[in-house]
Amino acid sequence: MNDTDFDELGPIDYLVVEFPADRRPDGSALPLLVDLVERRIIRVLDLIFVRKEADGSLVGMAIEDLGLEGGVDVTLFAEAATGLIDRTDLEDAAAVLAPGCSGAILVYENCWAAPFASALRREGAQLVASGRIPVQGILAALDALDATN
């Protein structure tokens, strides 16, 4: 990838999703992820599935070994590995996952935002802060507002 390719990139985000220890993921979210990729809203850069053992260690899992149901073609994601996720990232994921739970670590480009981000970079602008507000936080804030009204 040359500098011009980097100029055209959208913002890169990651997320760590935890699946309950008492339930195997059914794969129902994967078709929605496929749809986002096919519509070029996002580009999956890395997708790693892991399980946190009782002793706190993290064990990698192949997507094929998750036993997902529903006929989702998991081979689309089996090769999503750019190498952006390193040992430190895995340790950070292990810190947030509960023992006995499995999880997914997803790194993706926000393709929808690439033209906007590129235009800003051409103007000399740079991103100086970013964040996410979890849905639970929004619901709690709305509940607090309702309680005061």
Contacts of 113 (CB under 8 A, 6+ apart): 10, 11
Provide the Cα torsion 37, 38, 39, 40; round to 10°: 50
Tally of domains in the chain: 1
End-to-end CA distance of the chain: give it in Å, rounded.
54
| pLDDT digits 0-9 by tens, 8-39 | 889 999 999 998 888 777 778 888 998 999 99
**Global pTM exceeds 0.85:** no
Q: Which two tokens stand for residue 134?
A: 């979890």
Q: pLDDT below 50 — which residues of the chain? A: 1-4
Q: Which residues pair with 104 in a beta bridge?
A: 17, 49
pLDDT given for residue 42 in this prediction: 95
Which residues constitute the domain of residue 19?
3-148
